[in-house]
């Protein structure tokens, strides 16, 4: 089986698939804690600049991805404010590396993730959390023992959506980290590259099939989990 699969895809295509999975995995994992925090803040806290934060989180959804990529380049590029700092002090370079692709994917996937988690948090009755606090649980314990279990499926659903979005990210990635095979060439970039050369259609179409399968699987799984969240909060 494994052998047939390996033969079905050429080495360059395999490379793109592996890179895409790696980029999306790390983009999802690293943005998850921040996503939960932002979603919780938006759902539960009242603070100055809440609307600004909300707008910032949703910005990548409405900005042209190329613009987001360009902004990333300005900020995180070798000459960018943050990029220069990271390079000098930690030796971390994001531009034109797979790590940069992961940053771009994380930022583009952020609105979807935060939205899913925020909806889950808003479905949790604050009265349950109040009840937990009267029983002796501090704020952190309330979150760990009541809020988190009740929104867990929502978090997983959000993470899967973010993962699927990260797999498909193209505009911001190609602008920020370019299209270097083995380094920053994810599935969408590879499809684009294959379509630029004569005879590349078959390789492109194989990647298209893989992209469709990943996206569909993610949607179905997140739908199932979202339903489980509803059932759990309803308490049956």
Residues at the site binding other proteins, with contacts judged by CB under 8 A: 125, 127-128, 130-138, 141-142, 145-146, 149-150, 232-236
Distance CA 205, CA 190 (A): 11
Identify the CA nearest to 160 among candidates 123, 211, 112.
112
Q: How far apart are CA 19 and CA 184, in angstroms?
A: 8
Whole-angstrom Cα distance, residue 75 to residue 181?
24
98-122 and 148-168 helices, crossing angle to 10°: 140
What's the min distance (Å) between Cβ of 74 and other proteins?
A: 45
What DSSP state is assigned to residue 235?
A: T
Give me the half-sphere count of Cα atoms (radius 13 Å) on the Cβ side of residue 32.
Answer: 16
Closest contact distance (angstroms) between CB of 36 and other proteins is: 17
Of the pair 219, 233, the CB lying nearest other proteins is at 233
Shortest approach of other proteins to residue 234 CB, angstroms?
7
**Shortest distance (Å) from residue 158 CB to other proteins:** 18
Q: How far is the CB of 235 from other proteins (least distance, A)?
A: 3
Question: Which C-beta is closer to other proteins: that of 125 or that of 223?
Answer: 125
Q: CB-wise, 78 or 139, nearer to other proteins? A: 139
Task: Choose between 7 and 127: whose C-beta lies nearer to other proteins.
Answer: 127
Alpha-carbon gap, residue 197 to 176, rounded angstroms:
23
Which is nearer to other proteins, 6 or 135 (by Cβ)? 135
């Amino acid at each position: 089986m494994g052998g047939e699969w390996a033969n079905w895809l050429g080495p360059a295509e395999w490379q793109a698939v592996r890179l895409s999975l790696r980029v999306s995995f790390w983009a999802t994992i690293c943005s998850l804690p921040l996503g939960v925090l932002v979603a919780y803040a938006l759902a539960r806290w009242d603070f100055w600049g809440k609307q600004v934060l909300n707008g910032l989180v949703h910005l990548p959804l409405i900005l042209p991805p190329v613009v987001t990529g360009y902004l990333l380049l300005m900020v995180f590029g070798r000459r960018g404010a943050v990029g220069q700092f990271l390079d000098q002090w930690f030796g971390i370079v994001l531009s034109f590396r797979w790590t940069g692709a992961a940053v771009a994917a994380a930022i583009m996937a952020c609105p979807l993730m935060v939205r899913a988690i925020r909806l889950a948090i808003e479905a949790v009755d604050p009265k349950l959390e109040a009840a937990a606090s009267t029983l002796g649980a501090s704020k952190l314990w309330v979150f760990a023992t009541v809020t988190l279990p009740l929104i867990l499926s929502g978090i997983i659903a959000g993470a899967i959506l973010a993962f699927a979005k990260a797999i498909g990210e193209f505009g911001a990635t190609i602008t920020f980290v370019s299209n270097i095979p083995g380094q920053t060439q994810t599935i969408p970039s590879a499809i684009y590259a294959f379509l630029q050369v004569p005879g590349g259609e078959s390789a492109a179409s194989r990647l298209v099939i893989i992209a469709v399968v990943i996206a569909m699987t993610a949607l179905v799984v997140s739908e199932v989990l979202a339903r489980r969240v509803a059932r759990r909060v309803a308490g049956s």
